[in-house]
Amino acid sequence: MHSVAQAVERLDALAATEPVAVLAHAFAEAGHELALVGGPVRDAFLGRPVTDLDFTTDATPDETLRIVEPIASATWDVGRQFGTIAARIRGEQVEITTYRSDVYDGETRKPEVAFGDTIEDDLLRRDFTVNAMALRLPQRELVDVHGGVEDLLAERLHTPQTAEVSFRDDPLRMMRAARFTAQLGFTVSDEVRQAMTDLADSIEIVSAERVRDELVKLLDTADPVPGIRLLVDTGLAERFLPELPAMRLEIDEHHHHKDVYEHSLTVLTQAIGYEAERHAGEAPDTVLRLAALLHDIGKPATRKLEPGGAVSFHHHDLVGSKLVKKRLRALRFDNDTIAAVARLVELHLRFFGYTEGAWTDSAVRRYVRDAGPLLERLHELTRSDVTTRNRRKADRLGFAYDDLEQRIAALAEQEELDSIRPDLTGDDIMRILDIRPGRAVGEAYRYLLELRMDEGPLGSDEAEARLRAWWADRDATA
């Protein structure tokens, strides 16, 4: 964290920027209060980049529109019923919200929207003290009535009201606590942790979409593991992702020093590392991170004690894939994300057969074909799944995967592997065999595809000869 003096300098510099100064002057001229609030103020103290400009005011939404329209290049009515107006001022997008003092019914999480009279009342209803600080404009006066600076210095998350009242008002704040734990590197206060534990059931009244969005925000942080641990330890994860805490009791057959839960957190961390190496500067890969976290969720359902005390989890990849589909659908993820994560979970063990014996070129082609557009992610997931402390074993697996990737690259260069198709089309098959569309065409196509996978490109003449011979044998045995 930056010193208070440095934070003041950053806030002064931010207040002096043209968009903020123009907006502050306009509200002052209209006789209304305006303050920069929440994240921008917090991040000035933390030395983090300020990416959002959020303001609060005593002006009503209609009054806000009248004030900003003459100085804005565009305005958006993003949430007038909740008091929020967005505008573009001197090239910067800003959001301005009327002071709020909402009341919640405690059952449906739908607030009875009420506009407040003072900034102090508005700050009281915010989620955490570190987000409940404001900078009055144009005075540049810091408003911190709940000890936000003190909690920033202590790297602590606490609530302006009692944690129980705050979380009853909006249970999603408990998930936000987990996200900020990961994003800011803070710890929650004892009161916050206890309230999260006591009120974990209340997360069930929050819509699946809001829970999903908050989970994604957590997973997309640089190090989501501390936040995930908080969700599991307080019982929150049990309510919306029960398969995750269920893994704590299982022992992984490949990693006896860790249970499956700890192993999965390590895989997630390593996947983020590979992601950073291979895709530096790109947006977080939510699909890869979900797959890394959930790749072994099929293990509890497939756990079996073998003679001699060994533990097996046969087919946990297939079972896990089905569980992923069910859970991500319940959380309202989009179909593409569900399909991609489920497929990665289904395929995550495929590589380990490579270390047990040399794969033929045909087997390598099938690996690539089955992965399809997920091949790069499958590479990263499979490498991340190696968490053994046995250095010799880890090196052996690493070298084996290096070899597999090199073979894939070589075959791809020779055969354009990413678009494997038979040497003949369906139209070719119907013409050569003089048949109409139907099941037989599909059987012939699959036969030629298997030839292509096993032997590589044959050329149209050789493929036609093989097809005619296959068809004659088929008729003979029919």
Whether 94 has a pLDDT exceeding 60, the answer reads: yes
Mean pLDDT of 27-44: 94
Whether 255 has a pLDDT exceeding 60, the answer reads: no
Most confident of the ranges 67-71, 246-250, 473-477: 67-71
Closest CA to 401 of 384, 388, 416: 384
Q: What is the pLDDT of residues 291-319, one digit of tens each?
A: 999 999 998 877 777 676 666 676 788 89
The mean pLDDT of the chain is 87
CB 296 within 8 A of CB 320: yes
Task: Grade residue 280 by pLDDT with cuts at 50, 70 and 90.
Answer: confident
Whether 397 has a pLDDT exceeding 60, the answer reads: yes
Whether 252 has a pLDDT exceeding 80, the answer reads: no
> Which range is least confidently modeled, 97-106, 236-245, 441-450?
97-106
Mean pLDDT of 10-30: 93
3-class SS letters over the chain: CCCHHHHHHHHHHHHHCHHHHHHHHHHHHCCCCEEEECHHHHHHHHCCCCCCEEEEECCCHHHHHHHHCCCCCEEEEEEHHHCEEEEEECCEEEEEEECECCEECCCCCCEECCECCCHHHHHHCCCCHHHCCEEEECCCEEECCCCHHHHHHCCEECCCCCHHHHHHHCCHHHHHHHHHHHHHCCEECHHHHHHHHHCHHHHHHCCHHHHHHHHHHHHCCCCCHHHHHHHHHCCHHHHHCCHHHHHHHCECCCCCCCEHHHHHHHHHHHHHHHHHHHCCCCCCCHHHHHHHHHCCCCHHHHCEECHHHCEECCCHHHHHHHHHHHHHHHCCCCHHHHHHHHHHHHHCCHHHHHHHCCCCHHHHHHHHHHHHHHHHHHHHHHHHCCCCCCHHHHHHHHHHHHHHHHHHHHHHHHHCHHHCCCCCCHHHHHHHHCCCCCHHHHHHHHHHHHHHHHHCCCCHHHHHHHHHHHHHHHHHHC
Task: Grade residue 246 by pLDDT with cuts at 50, 70 and 90.
Answer: very high
- Report pLDDT for 469: 92
Q: What is the pLDDT of residues 163-178, one digit of tens each?
A: 999 999 899 999 999 9
Whether 465 has a pLDDT exceeding 50, the answer reads: yes
Higher pLDDT, 312 or 232: 232
Percent of the chain scoring above 70 in pLDDT: 88
N- to C-terminal Cα separation, the chain: 78
Whether 453 has a pLDDT exceeding 60, the answer reads: yes
- CATH annotation of 155-240: 1.10.110.30
Mean pLDDT of 25-41: 95
- Report pLDDT for 257: 41
- Report pLDDT for 430: 92
Whether 250 has a pLDDT exceeding 50, the answer reads: no
What class, spelled out in words, does domain 4-154 have in CATH? alpha beta
- Report pLDDT for 317: 85
CA separation for the pair 58, 272 (Å, rounded): 43
- CATH annotation of 256-418: 1.10.3210
Task: Grade residue 113 by pLDDT with cuts at 50, 70 and 90.
Answer: low
Most confident of the ranges 261-265, 403-407, 473-477: 261-265
Domain boundaries, the chain: 4-154, 155-240, 256-418, 422-477
Mean pLDDT of 11-39: 94
